[in-house]
Structure 1
Amino acid sequence: MTDSTRAPEIRTSSGTVRGRLEDGLAVFRGIPYAQPPVGPLHLGPPVPATEWSGVREAVAFGPTPPQSLALGFGSGPDNAGGRDDWLTVNVWTPDPGGARLPVLVWIHGGAYLVGSADAPGYDGASLARRGTVVVTFNHRVGAEGYGHFEGAVPNRALLDQVAALTWVRDNIAAFGGDPDRVTVFGESAGAGAVAALLTMDRAEGLFHRAVAQSVPGTFFSPALAADIGATVATELGLPATLDALAPVPPVALRDAADAVVRTITRYGARWGRAAHAHLPFSPVIDGEVLPCSPWEALRAGRGADVDLIVGHNRDEARLFTVMGGRFGKVTEEEAAVTLARFAPGADGAAAYRTSHPAADPTTLQDLVMSDWLFRMPSLHLAEAHAAGGGTTYAYELTWPAPAMGGALGACHGLDVPLVFGTLREGFGPMLFGEEPPAEAEALSDAMGRAWSDFAAHGDPGWARYGAAERLTRIFAAEPFTAPYPEESSRLIWAEQGFAPMELAPGTEPVPAS
């Protein structure tokens, strides 16, 4: 690009794209990295994008993959236009064709059911202005991405992510990025994907550093995933096989999965915690795409050559309690049931009560759900990576969201706008109010700078995590480094691993066909 006033054009491996200039950045949206996964490619692995001639306009986000409607929320609008070219990437760069800048590749969250790269909170401009090239992308979610069906390649969403990272490796230099300095970062389900990618042969060498924000501990065994897949297929009156389901329109498959989501607690005796937590899809430890759980793999030394930041927010589950209208209303009976289901081991429920004798039922329920879903999986991932010889950095976000009278605390998802610098976009006003306070701006600057510095040279600005001192960056109003702060939870979960979740013992599986 020679003329700073011209719309920027870049030649990619599939063809030339034309983006646009936005406040000093060159921005490209909706570039295909794979062919639409429909028709003969439905429920198959991603296939590289078809080449095009001429110049392709890259100024609008690609359409969203089918989104679950059963949760009542999502990261992007449902695809009302019916387009099926979901698998696209977006790039923000301060210097296209220039100085081989560090690259940050974002994997969105959304309970493995929803999410897309066009969410306003994922705008890459602020991070790009810190001297990075930022990439976001869509991948298949729900039954399209994680449904486990006989004859279908498993973990298609993870393969989409590998395809997007392959596109980055092959093309990012033309956008001013350094293909040898790629950092993948993600939150919630996106952090679970980061953990999975660290273990996958197919992802090896595609990224060099990783950031996992609030890692969920839900990885499924093939038996559990197949039983859920067969239940989804039953909603369509079909066997759970590739031959039967490939001709089904993706939206119809989504609707069948949503029918299961809406009544998922009825399957509690079969699917256990997955049903009680309303989580029908997760990465599957299939032995092929995903050979074993991330905690097992990292402890054995897998991913030791990839530097890792991993952490969580202090009050992860508070978001779901508040949004569900249950803040301060959880009964003693409800808390007891939650503790019995989700606390570890035979003595876990008693250990929580002993460690928090003054906690009310809402606090107890939030504690155990925060620990089971995100806090302890994240801590254990840090410990496994460090034990396997990796360079590991840990953090906890403790600064509470000021909106709603502070009821949200340092809730799940609060870290995302802070890292991206999108305090006024998307869910930002719900968390920070219409005008974010100065503390939020300062903390956002600190987190964005740490992530960008880590991508640039591997040092986020605090001490490494190790088993002896457990040094952790605490993102409070004034960030500081201290030993890991959630000691009572760490001790309760110290002997508990995060093995693949199984179909209940003695359960007769739903036949695939």
Structure 2
Amino acid sequence: MTSPSQQPEVATQAGAVRGIWRDGSAAFLGIPFAEPPVGEHRFQAPVPHRPWEGVRPAVEQGATPQRKALAEVTLIPEPSVPGESTLNVNVFTPNPAKADDGGLPVLVWIHGGGYVAGSPASPWYDGAAFNRDGVVTVSVSYRLGFDGFGWIEDAPRNRGVLDWLLALEWVRDNIAAFGGDPSRVTISGQSAGGGAVLTLLGSPRAQPLFNRVISLSGPPTNVTLAASEALGRKLAELGGVAPTVAGLSTLTEAEVLALQAQVSSVGNDGGGGGDPVAGLAAMLGEGLTLGPVIDGELIPLPTSEALAAGIGADKELILGTTDNEFNMVLAGAGEALAAVPAAAVLGAVGAAPAVVEAYIAAHPGLDTATLVGQYVTDHMFRAPALNLAELRSSVPAPTWLYRFAWDSPTVGSACHCLDVPFMFDVLGGERIVPLAGPNPPQVLADEVHGSAVAFIATGDPGWPAWDDADRAVRVYDLPTTVVADGYADTRALLPERVG
């Protein structure tokens, strides 16, 4: 036990760490959970960090796998920190000592960034507000892009997923020393991080490591092993090496990142050669190509099939999206597309004729660019969220569906990433004004953050769970409401059920 006048110290299984006190809580930054993924550990499964002697300072952010932030992927401030020891956790706790009642509930946050970018060092991911409300918070890093997810002939698949699992095992084994309860762990993330927690929900190996899930704007995993192998072989061919650990290890990190940008659907023009519609077609068709892969083992099935099969059926789940996630993708093309029928553009980006007709009917009065932008949002985020809720409607653990519908006064819509500072209750933080305006509503943060705290602590966020009859959806707006079938306008995009 440490008094607030001293720097807090905690003994982990690998050694003692010294953090810093803030107002009402303590922060332990950059604690390594794995050996640096370089040298013999590059392209391999993560290895638990070796023990150290003495007390290790944990007062600065650790090195991040992200080497260069991609501004087009996230509006969140996510700094890159140089260094080789990139597999770390940050722990924020109101009391770094085990409580008499067994400890506080725990939130583990996995950042987004299209699986090729993002950083746990974001000031938006600081756990101070959760600590204030009695939740220990952990943010984790993981290998990104090709290092984390690229196919290599003789290397483990899904190395980034293995990083998540080892980080969760670290939480299981160490979080009690920080005042947390390892039997009450909620995993959460946004965008690719939301997809990450859905992936873990559908992974049998991950089941003992968490109890609840909150997925913000999470794309379900559906990348096939064949598609991953094709991308991996292409990258190796472009690099002039064999698609093996030995071959790819001859390339520097910078060289792999440059090649990755040529083959990935994130970080380039999406394959459209400058044509925004062709780029959208490629992006919608390929998805997040450098991300979790259905390998038949660690990830046995696509997310939708895994949840339909009952994997994760005992885990409570909150999922949802912002109303206009990626609507901005055609923001500059309104005039150019004004004379082009929406049906023609939807067909060009891959929508089937029957879907085109039904979708246009569900969105009357929109110009072509606006309608197609909404289609991108619905195809990638909103319809998959509805689909997963419906697939889980009969499992033992309930599912709650929400929408974040408040329009930013600066962006003009409820865009991608807008909900994150409300979730963490950091409306006074860095880079909030460009995204949410100078006076974002604190009452809305109280609602969003408060629902998360209630769910993490009790398993009930405070509105009716999804069922096939009422289809209740919490709509975060001014005011916040609960509506019936709040995703009805995306139903034309749902897969047809068989049987």
Q: How far did 1:365 drift?
A: 1.0
Give the counterpart of 2:429 among 402, 410, 425. 425
Query: For the structure 1 residues 263 and 152, does the alpha-carbon distance in structure 2 shift closer, same or farther, using more than 3 Å as the test?
Result: farther
- Give SS of 1:204's match: helix
Amino acid at match of 1:215: G
**Does residue 265 in structure 1 map to residue 271 in structure 2?**
yes
Aligned residue type for 1:4: P
- 1:265 alignment partner, SS class: coil
The one-letter code of the counterpart of 1:294 is: T
Match of 2:418 in 1: 414
Counterpart of 2:208, as a letter, is: G
1:14 is the counterpart of 2:14 = yes
Counterpart position of 1:102: 105
How many Å separate the matches in 2 of 1:421 and 1:31? 24
Contact 2:14 2:52 in 1 (8 A): yes
Aligned: 1:203 with 2:203:
no
SS of aligned partner of 1:223:
helix
Partner SS for 2:271? helix
Unaligned segments of structure 2, at least 5 residues: none
Structure 2 residue 370 is matched with structure 1 residue 363 = yes
Counterpart position of 1:26 = 26
Is the partner of 1:144 in helix, strand or coil?
helix
In structure 1, runs of 5+ residues without a counterpart are 498-513
Whichever residue aligns with residue 425 of structure 2, its letter is G
Matches within 5 A, 1:215-254: 215-217=218-220, 219-254=222-257
**Structure-1 residue corresponding to 2:396:** 389
- Per the alignment, residue 312 of structure 1 pairs with 321
**Alpha-carbon distance in 2 for matches of 1:16, 1:129:** 25
Q: Does 1:124 find its partner at 2:138?
A: no
Partners in 2 of 1:363 and 1:52 — Cα distance?
56
Is 2:54 the counterpart of 1:54?
yes
SS in 2 for 1:52: coil
- Per-residue deviation at 1:341? 4.7
Q: In the alignment, which residue of structure 2 is the partner of 1:191?
A: 194
- Contact 1:299 / 1:387 at 8 angstroms: preserved in 2? no
1:395-474 aligned at under 5 Å gives the runs 395-404=402-411, 407=412, 409-433=413-437, 435-437=438-440, 440-474=441-475
Query: Per-residue CA shift, 1:176-196, capped at 9, x if unaligned?
Result: 001011000111101111111
Give the match for residue 301 of structure 1: 310
Distance 2:70 2:398 in 1: 40
- Residue of structure 2 equivalent to 1:501: none
> Separation in 2 of the partners of 1:275 and 1:353?
18
Deviations 1:289-315 (A, max 9, x none): 210011111112110111100111111
Structure with the bigger RCO (C-alpha within 8 Å, sep 6+) is 1
CA gap of 1:429–1:451, structure 2 versus 1, over 3 A, is same
Alpha-carbon separation, structure 1, partners of 2:32 and 2:373: 41
Does the 8 Å CA contact 1:233/1:239 hold for their aligned counterparts?
yes
The one-letter code matched in structure 2 to 1:76 is E
Q: Please, which moves more after superposition, 203-212 or 264-273?
A: 264-273
After the TM superposition, which of the residue ranges 383-392 and 262-271 deviates more from structure 2? 262-271
Quote the Cα distance in structure 2 between the aligned partners of 1:209 and 1:98.
21
Q: TM-score, normalised on structure 2? A: 0.91
SS across alignment from 2:428:
coil
SS in 2 for 1:118: coil
Instruction: Give the letter aligned to residue 27 of structure 2.
Output: V
User: 1:396-437 deviations in whole A, cap 9, x for unaligned?
Assistant: 111111224xx2x1111111111011223244111222x324
RMSD: 2.4
CA distance in 1: counterparts of 2:235 and 2:338, whole angstroms? 33
Letter in 1 for 2:325: E
1:111 and 2:114 matched: yes
CA contact (8 A) 1:343 1:372 kept: no
TM-score for both structures, normalised by structure 1: 0.89
Range with greater deviation from structure 2 (161-170 or 251-260): 251-260
2:78 is aligned to: 76
Percent identity (aligned)? 38
- Kindly tell me the number of residue pairs found equivalent between the two proteins: 486
